[in-house]
């Protein structure tokens, strides 16, 4: 076991995922305490940086979801303070969290991601971008998914079944971010591949793909914000019931994405396994995955025989292996 450290757990914050983050943080705190570390719980707010300095943290465990935690903001501040921290660095965060950037990079690298077009709200107002909608609809096809470019969980993700539903879906998504994506809807199975830095992996990549978790919505054909964090509305199956070859394909793809975006420590890549074609599509990458009881990464780790405490210890170790 590693030496005890003074660990600041960064949680809470001011994003729409605050509440989930507080729960993630609490679980992590418990685990760190059980491992013998000294825990400094920081609900990230106005006094974040002064407190960090004052409490003299040795290392920061980032459990802050959404804005500030996933977009490179706190990472930049931690670097300025020369405090090691878990998870992806600034660049990795920015590349992963901006879905538009992530998808463009994946597309360039030949990694399959559903066709999409991005729109900025100001280009609708100032460049007449609405006139491109007809073409966009034809190109992507209906039904389609509208999502904010930045903004995790399923908040703000809208489903437009037909052309009539599209404006409302777009305006809804624009409530969460000034840039949105209109993306082809892939009907299929929702797979989450969790990735964890493997200190013992000498084969080079250093990152290990954990057993795949499949999220099976109970009632909805599409995961909306109401189902995402409701206990009981979704069944999680881990390991997902997939042919081994498909599992391997999905895991390989996830590792490629992780490396392409420059992630570090841990991440979770969400994919769709298309019904009928069995084709895999990468949807998005989450660099601060949830660490609550119902979260996918802990479930996957558990299926790999890694206890929650071991998981936390490994993530903590990633702060020193940059």
Binding status of residue 304 toward other proteins by CB under 8 A: no
Spatial CA neighbour of 63 closest among 297, 281, 237, 291:
291
Among residues 185, 229, 258, 281, the one that binds other proteins under rule CB under 8 A: 229
37 binds other proteins (CB under 8 A): yes
Q: Is 172 in the site for other proteins (CB under 8 A)?
A: yes
Residue 193's alpha-carbon distances to 170, 236, 239, 256, 257, in angstroms, are 29, 13, 10, 12, 11
As measured in angstroms, the least distance from the Cβ of 18 to other proteins is 7
Four-residue CA torsion sign, 175, 214, 317, 20: positive
Write each residue from 112 to 141 as x if it is in contact with other proteins (CB under 8 A), else as -, in one continuous string.
---------x--xx----x--x--------
Q: Give the nearest distance from C-beta 227 to other proteins in angstroms.
A: 9
Q: Does 167 bind other proteins (CB under 8 A)?
A: yes
Closest distance to other proteins from the beta carbon of 318 (Å): 19
Preceding amide of 239 cis, omega within 30 = yes
CA angle, residues 221, 225, 229, in degrees to nearest 5: 100
Largest CA distance in the chain: 60
How many CB atoms lie under 10 A from the CB of residue 51? 16
CB 284, min distance to other proteins, A: 17
220, 195 contact by CB (below 8 A): no
Task: Report the catalytic residues.
Answer: 17, 153, 229, 268, 270, 284, 286, 290
Q: Which tokens sit at 188?
A: 């299929």
Read off the tokens for 303. 């299926």
Stretch that binds other proteins, among 94-102, 110-118, 174-182, 241-249 (CB under 8 A): 174-182
Interface with other proteins (CB under 8 A):
1, 4, 14, 16-20, 27, 29-41, 121, 124-125, 130, 133, 150, 153-156, 166-168, 170-178, 225-226, 228-233, 293, 298-299, 301-303, 307-309
């Amino acid at each position: 076991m590693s030496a005890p450290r003074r660990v600041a757990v960064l949680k809470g914050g001011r994003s729409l995922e605050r509440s989930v983050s507080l729960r993630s943080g609490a679980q992590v705190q418990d685990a760190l305490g059980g491992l013998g570390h000294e825990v400094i719980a920081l609900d990230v707010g106005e006094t974040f940086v002064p407190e960090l300095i004052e409490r003299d943290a040795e290392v920061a465990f980032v459990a802050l979801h959404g804005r500030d935690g996933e977009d490179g903001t706190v990472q930049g501040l931690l670097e300025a303070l020369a405090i090691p921290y878990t998870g992806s660095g600034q660049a990795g965060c920015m590349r992963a969290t901006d879905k538009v950037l992530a998808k463009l990079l994946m597309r360039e690298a030949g990694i399959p991601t559903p066709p999409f077009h991005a729109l900025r709200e100001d280009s609708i107002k100032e460049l007449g971008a609405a006139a491109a909608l007809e073409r966009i609809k034809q190109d992507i096809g209906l039904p389609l998914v509208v999502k904010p470019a930045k903004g995790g969980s399923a908040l703000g993700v809208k489903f437009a079944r037909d052309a009539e539903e599209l404006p409302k879906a777009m305006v809804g998504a624009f409530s969460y971010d000034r840039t949105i994506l209109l993306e082809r809807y892939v009907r299929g199975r929702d797979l989450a591949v969790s990735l964890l830095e493997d200190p013992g992996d000498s084969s080079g990549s250093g990152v290990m793909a954990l057993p795949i978790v499949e999220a099976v919505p109970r009632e909805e054909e599409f995961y909306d914000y109401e189902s995402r964090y409701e206990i009981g509305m979704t069944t999680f199956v881990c390991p997902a019931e997939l042919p081994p070859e498909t599992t391997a394909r999905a895991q390989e793809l996830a590792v490629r994405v992780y490396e392409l975006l420059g992630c570090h420590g841990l991440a979770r890549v969400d994919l769709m396994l298309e019904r009928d074609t069995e084709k895999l599509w990468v949807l998005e990458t989450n660099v601060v995955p949830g660490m609550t009881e119902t979260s996918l990464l802990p479930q996957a780790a558990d299926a790999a025989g890694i206890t929650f405490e071991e998981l936390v210890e490994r993530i903590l170790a990633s702060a020193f292996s940059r």
